[in-house]
Structures are given as structure tokens and as C-alpha cells.
A and B are shown apart, each in its own frame.
Chain A
Amino acid sequence: MQKRFISLWFRHLTTDWLTLRRPELKDLPFVFAAPIHNRIIITAANSLAQEQGIFNGMAAADAKAIVPDLKIIDEIPGQSFKLLKALGEWCIRYSPLIAIDMPDGLIMDISGCPHLWGGERNYLKEIVTRLRSKGYDVRGAIADTAGAAWAVARFGKVKPIIEPGAQASALLLLPPVALRLEPLILERLQKLGFYKIKDFMNIGRSVLRRRFGEGFLLRLNQALGNEDEPLQLLQPVEAYSERLPCLEAIRTAIGIEIAIKTLLEQLCKRLHGEGKGIRTAILKGYRVDGHVIQATIGTNSPSNNVNHLFKLFELKISSLEPALGIELFTLDAPKVEDVEPGQEILWSPEDCSLEDTGLAQLLDRLANKIGAANIHRYLPQEHHWPERSFKPAISLKEKPTTAWRTDRPRPSLLLNRPEPVEVTFLVPDYPPALFIYQNKIHHVKKADGPERIEREWWLEEGEHRDYYQVEDEKGQRYWLFRLGHYEGGRPKQWFIHGFFA
């Protein structure tokens, strides 16, 4: 899936917060300052102060000289982290994957989220307006990579949303500082006359590496999307996986059974608490000789029943070869779904319906041994063409949308492919008087038909079929058809397609 990131930049994070706490500061220029190297240095300035030429890193005394009524407030250490954490937790309503981007931003992985707010434009607008209405001066940008979003949020002048794959062209006109580089490298770039990213984007990577080091290339690649950027998530998603290291290498089937049971019990306990069930699970065994063996199971419906899941793994144990022994077992559940708690049944029903858990467990066992592709259930389909009159159902719970038709006779057995038969019949369209199928002559005593079934021209080309239901002298009933209209001297026109009950 295409990854998308949003970068939020709180331009005046701490000063906005203080303005919210102390509304009387709203119309005053004020700054936060902290002692650095025996000098009082400004660490954050509000927008009014910035308008008058005060910037971060300026000595407080100089600032006071420019703006005599400047209010200087001692910085609260760790305040911006606390604020960003709170803001990030608030933003979880927009996306579950949120990382703090010190000192004044948030990065959110929004892949698959914006459509819930009606597209990326509305999504970004919603976030920014909500935060602004709370009093935080925020800028945001969306791009394929966290680095590009970061750059556009802070330095972009054209548009905040960069289309998928367009991050390289969006970065061209931005200054090198947009790449989150270290001050030393920035200074060197400045000295060499690289004022825009486009100046060095196309220079050979080996040259850049020699001049500016590995860190520079990493940042460039991260912004362009050539390299993944790991995010430290605010609320990391805990994977459904369990580990079981063994003191001694396991070599027997019984040992593997115990390991699977232990792992399943641990995992199912957690799943049970969260109301989830396993759809697929992978058991991996790390062998002494360095190989990894694995077994995969799948279920039709989410399950956190240890016994049932163990039975599924039991079928696979014979395929696990421990060789010299297995040191470590891991059990991962990559696909987990909400389990529908079954209602306790007061009276056990006499018959189990399609929704029954017993049936689902049986099908799981069958599917894990012979493959889920070999289990079918059919639903009616609105087609006259016999081969297309039914379709495989997607799930056990899928209900037929149309009724099964009974108005026309249909044979009990249908040949996979119609087989040609030799036929004697009265032209042009009488039913056959006799036909030869598999070297046996059948004299037709009774017949019914024809039932003409046209080929669906929008699906395939070809001739129609005229179906006849015939009964021979022994009472055996067949379904024959003639392909197309009768034409003299054309062989292979008659076919047998099925047997009636």
C-alpha cells in the first residue's frame, strides 16, 4: 500500500501554550529564554516578538534592546516534549501511527486514513483548523515520505499536499535546511554555494558521500523515499506474537506439541482479553543448524480456542522436521479479527446450521489438510447457460441473492465437458431417434424439448444449444443438445451433457 505521511509543524509551540494559559499575554511580545554558556539566550519567541525581529538563539539582552517592553520568561525544561505528547495523543483520532518530531512537530503515518474524512485535502484542513481553533499556530503537509512532508510543512510555499511520487520535484526548490541536516553540513553547503536542493540533487552519490558523509545521504534518501524511515510511535502497535525459547533443543513430536500448546495458551489468553481471534497463524522453529522451519494455519472464522487451533497445528506437526533440535519457537498471528462471541445455547440444537462453530472447526481442519481451495459452496447465479448457472460462494455466511430455479429440468450429473455423440434424427429439429454414446446404441423412446439456450454474447462467442431430454428403452434419461442450427453434412453437432435422475 502506498505510504502517506503528514508532518505538523507547531511554529510557536510553547509560546502558544503559555498564551492559552495566560490570556493577558496575547497582545504582548514575549520570549522564553534559558541560560546557555553563561548567556541568556532566547529559545522561543511568540509571533509578535518575531515580527519585531527577534529570533531564536538571540541573546536576551539584544532583544531587550530592540523591543524595550519585551517580556522574558524562564524556559520550562521538557515542556515542549510534554506538549507534543499530549497533542500527539489527541491526534490519534486521525491516525493510530503518530510519532513525536522534536523539537516542534509531529509526524503521522496516515496511510489509508484520509478517505474517511473525504480525501487528503479535507483531512489536512480538518486537522489544521481544529488545532488552530485551539490556539496553536500549525502548518501541515502531506507527502509520500516523512522527510518530504517535514520539508514542505516548514519551507513549502506552493501547496501542502504533494501527490504520490512527486516528492522529488517538490523538494527541488527548497533550501538544504529542509532536509533536516546537521548545522555543520548546512554551513558547508552554504559555503559551497548550494542554496537549493536542486543544486546537488543530481550530483553523484559517491561524490556527495565523500564531501558530506553518510548522514547527509541518509537524510536525502529518506526524503526522496529511497530509504525507509523508522518512526518511534507514540503508542506502538504490539504485534500478536509469542516466543518460547527452549533450554534444551527440542527434537521430538511430543516436545513440539507441548511448545505449540504453551504458545497458543499465551497468545489466546491475550486474544481472549481483547475479544480477537486468529485467522492465520505462523509457527516458526529456529533450529540448531541455523535453518528456520515453519507451519502456517488458517481458519474460516476468527478463533481463540486453544483446542481447536492446536488441532489445526497437529495436522502440520509431521511436516516439521526438527533435525538436530529446535531452540526457539515463535508464534505470530499476522491476521487477527474481532471474534463474534457465540451465544450460549440453552438447548443443544439437533442440527447444526452453516453458522455452527462445530462445522467451522471441521472445515478448518479439512482446509488445513487438503487446502481451502478445495472446499466449495455454491450459490445460484442468474444465467441460463448451465455451466454458469451457479457460482462459488465467498464465505459460509453468504446468502443466495436469487432463488434456485426449478422451472426447467436439469440433470443430476453434468459432464465437465459435453461429449460428442452420433445421432440419428429427423431433420430439421426433431429429437434424436437413436444415439451412440461410448459405443452403446440407445434407442430413444421418449423425448422432451427442445429448450434453446443462447450463448451470452457479452461473455463469449459461439452457437446456441438446443437441449433435448431423452429416455431410452431401459428408462435411462439423458440430456443431449445440438450445437447451432441444423446444417447438412456438418459433423460433431450433437453432444451429451448430462444424466437425469
Chain B
Amino acid sequence: MLDTRKDIISRLQKDILLWQGFTPPPSGKPKDLGLGPIEAAFPNGVFPTGNIHEMMCTTPEQAAATGGMMAGLIAILMRRGGTCIWISTSRKLFPPSLKAFNVEPDRIIFIDVAKEKDALWAMEEALKCEGLAAVVAEIKEISFAQSRRLQLAVEGSKVTGFILRNDPRKPGINTCVARWQVNPLPSKIEDGLPGIGYPCWQIDLLRVRNGNPGRWELEWIDGCFVPVEKEEEPIYHLHERKAG
């Protein structure tokens, strides 16, 4: 009895996902983005490409960490020779650093706009262009209606969008599929050795549509994401768990 009920619930959940546009991955073609355990948090266990992700970065340090992690993601999205568009009002990104995350910096087109409004317009136009690997926009505030426009553009073209919310005043509600926050963590070094280790981040998925928010720790080692091995068993209680 209990099993049948579970079956029914899981079937219904799959149906709901289908109606919401999350098609299960075709069998035999796993689209592994190399995110490791994080991917399990997303519906169907697949990183949602063709959607808009929101990255919260309050401080420049967070922005740097987010930039690194996102560059790793974009590298995977661009591996078939695509192009990425990066829209910003005050750009601090240092293009040569992207190469360390496997992104060819000359495949990225930077668009500098004067106003947030222009950035949103440029992002919408770029998201409509089929075949782009990714569109990144640095936007401080985005309203629900604005995010819905972007979502509509994305649904037609299947381009993956990232909104970098540098210094947001309030998180707000929007249609983005996931809300991320990346914090830098002290890097791990073999005991006693001097210097600085591989980039190491604490990645929080604050909100995932139809998924499970959570917190993970990842390192960027030799061009791929590696979960941090933990010495003791930390128990994270997710206070900020929110409904999708």
C-alpha cells in the first residue's frame, strides 16, 4: 500500500515536471556538467540549461568566487565551440583569468552598457539569439515582470542565462530557475606547505524550482569541480530552505 502510494506520488511529480517544461534527459546521453553532487539537487538530476540562473554576490570577494565557479560552468557549456555574451554596467572581470577555468577569453563578447535598463534589454536580445552558449548579465535589481520577459526569451531559444546580482538591495522574487550564492573558503594545502591551494568554494543553492536547496563545498582542481573531502561530519541545518 505504502509502495503504491509512493509510486503514484513520484509519477505525479514527474508529470508536473513535464508540464513545467522539464523534460527528462534522453537515456544514453547524460548531460553531465561535472558539478558532482549539486546536480542531484535539480529536477530530474540534471543541471537546467536553457534557463536563467541567479547568482547573489554581496561583496566583491563573493563576486570573484562566483565568477570563478560560473566560468567553470560556462566552460562546459561552451565546449562545443559556442560563444558567450557578457553584459555589464561596470565591468571588473579580468579576461585573462578565465583561461584558468577552461574558458577561451576571446570567445566572450563583452558588452558595456550605461544603464541597468539597457543591460536588461541587451540581455533579452541576446537570449533570443539561438545557439549562444551562455549570456551573463550583471544586474543589481530585477523585478518579477522583467525576469518573466527573460524567461520567455529563453524558452524559445534554449540559451542559458546567468544574472550576476552584484550588491543586491533585496533578493526579491523572480522566475529564475535557481538562486546561487558562492562564498570563498580557505583553500586546502597539504600540511605545512606554504602558499595557497586550489580555489575552494562553499556553494549554496538558496532556491531551486522543483528541486532541493542545499549547501556544498567544491574545489576547482585541474579543470574540474571536486567535492571537498570532509574531515569531520558537519551537519548543516538549512534554515533558509524555501519552497520552490
**Residues A413 and B60 in contact in the complex (CB < 8 Å), given A365-B125, A390-B96, A475-B200:** yes
A318–chain B nearest beta-carbon distance, Å: 13
**Residues A400 and B184 in contact in the complex (CB < 8 Å), given A406-B100, A447-B196:** no
Within 8 A of A (CB), among B47-61: 60-61
Within 8 A of B (CB), among A377-401: 377-380, 386, 389-390, 393, 396, 399-400
Count chain A residues whose beta carbon lies closer than 8 angstroms to a beta carbon of B: 57
Q: Is B113 at the interface (CB under 8 A from chain A)?
A: yes
Looking at A400, A416, A473, A475, the one whose CB has the most chain B CB atoms below 10 A away is A475
List B contacts of A501 (CB < 8 A): 64-65, 67-69, 71, 97, 101, 184, 199, 201, 220
* Contact of B100 (CB < 8 Å), options: A352, A354, A410: A410
Instruction: Tell me the nearest residue of chain B to A497, going by C-beta.
Output: B94
What 0/1 readout, one digit per residue, does chain B (149-192) give for beta carbons within 8 Å of chain A? 00000000000000000000000000000000001111101000
> Are A448 and B63 neighbours in the complex by a CB distance under 8 Å?
no
Q: How large is the interface on B (under 10, 10 to 19, 20 to 34, 35 or more residues)?
A: 35 or more
A473 to B187, CA, bound (A): 10
A352 to B128, CA, bound (A): 13
Q: Is B106 at the interface (CB under 8 A from chain A)?
A: yes
Q: Is A247 at the interface (CB under 8 A from chain B)?
A: no
Instruction: Tell me the nearest residue of chain A to B102, going by C-beta.
Output: A406
A412 to B91, CA, bound (A): 11
Instruction: Tell me the nearest residue of chain B to A354, going by C-beta.
Output: B83
List B contacts of A352 (CB < 8 A): 82-83, 129-132
List A contacts of B107 (CB < 8 A): 354
A414 to B64, CA, bound (A): 9
B26–chain A nearest beta-carbon distance, Å: 14
Q: Is A276 at the interface (CB under 8 A from chain B)?
A: no
> Are A413 and B110 neighbours in the complex by a CB distance under 8 Å?
no
B88–chain A nearest beta-carbon distance, Å: 10
> Are A410 and B96 neighbours in the complex by a CB distance under 8 Å?
yes
List A contacts of B122 (CB < 8 A): 366, 369-370
What 0/1 readout, one digit per residue, does chain A (296-321) give for beta carbons within 8 Å of chain B? 00000000000000000000000000
List A contacts of B92 (CB < 8 A): 413-416
A153 to B194, CA, bound (A): 84
List B contacts of A375 (CB < 8 A): 109-112
List B contacts of A471 (CB < 8 A): 186-187, 196
Q: Is B99 at the interface (CB under 8 A from chain A)?
A: yes
List B contacts of A475 (CB < 8 A): 183-187, 200
> Are A448 and B199 neighbours in the complex by a CB distance under 8 Å?
no
A381–chain B nearest beta-carbon distance, Å: 9
Q: Is A130 at the interface (CB under 8 A from chain B)?
A: no
Q: Is A182 at the interface (CB under 8 A from chain B)?
A: no
Instruction: Tell me the nearest residue of chain A to B199, going by C-beta.
Output: A501
A361–chain B nearest beta-carbon distance, Å: 8
List A contacts of B114 (CB < 8 A): 370
Within 8 A of A (CB), among B104-154: 104-114, 118, 121-122, 125-126, 128-133
> Are A378 and B105 neighbours in the complex by a CB distance under 8 Å?
yes
B77–chain A nearest beta-carbon distance, Å: 9
List A contacts of B95 (CB < 8 A): 378, 390
A380 to B96, CA, bound (A): 7
List A contacts of B37 (CB < 8 A): none
Q: Is B93 at the interface (CB under 8 A from chain A)?
A: yes
Q: Is B24 at the interface (CB under 8 A from chain A)?
A: no
* Contact of B111 (CB < 8 Å), options: A356, A370, A379, A448: A370
> Are A376 and B99 neighbours in the complex by a CB distance under 8 Å?
no
* Contact of A413 (CB < 8 Å), options: B63, B118, B128, B129: B63
Q: Is B237 at the interface (CB under 8 A from chain A)?
A: no
> Are B64 and A469 neighbours in the complex by a CB distance under 8 Å?
no
A43 to B96, CA, bound (A): 78
Within 8 A of B (CB), among A330-367: 349-354, 356, 358-359, 361-363, 365-366
A396 to B110, CA, bound (A): 12
> Are B109 and A379 neighbours in the complex by a CB distance under 8 Å?
no
Q: Is B81 at the interface (CB under 8 A from chain A)?
A: yes
Instruction: Tell me the nearest residue of chain B to A349, going by C-beta.
Output: B131
A377 to B110, CA, bound (A): 6
A405 to B95, CA, bound (A): 11
A320–chain B nearest beta-carbon distance, Å: 20
A379 to B94, CA, bound (A): 12
A400 to B111, CA, bound (A): 20
List A contacts of B112 (CB < 8 A): 374-376
A26–chain B nearest beta-carbon distance, Å: 69
What 0/1 readout, one digit per residue, does chain A (420-446) give for beta carbons within 8 Å of chain B? 000000000000000000000000011
B203–chain A nearest beta-carbon distance, Å: 12
A448 to B111, CA, bound (A): 34
Instruction: Tell me the nearest residue of chain B to A365, going by C-beta.
Output: B125
Q: Is A117 at the interface (CB under 8 A from chain B)?
A: no
Looking at B69, B125, B185, B186, the one whose CB has the most chain A CB atoms below 10 A away is B186
25 A/B residue pairs, CB under 8 Å, sorted by A: A350-B131, A352-B83, A352-B131, A359-B132, A363-B109, A375-B109, A377-B108, A380-B96, A390-B96, A404-B99, A405-B99, A409-B100, A412-B68, A414-B92, A414-B94, A446-B195, A448-B194, A474-B184, A474-B186, A475-B185, A475-B186, A475-B200, A477-B184, A499-B63, A501-B71
Among all A-B residue pairs, the 4 with the closest Cβ atoms? A501-B68, A352-B131, A351-B82, A499-B64
- Contacts beyond the supplied A351-B78, A410-B94: 20 A-B pairs with Cβ under 8 Å: A349-B131, A350-B80, A354-B83, A359-B83, A359-B132, A370-B114, A374-B111, A377-B108, A377-B110, A378-B95, A404-B104, A410-B97, A411-B97, A416-B92, A447-B196, A469-B196, A471-B186, A476-B184, A477-B196, A498-B94
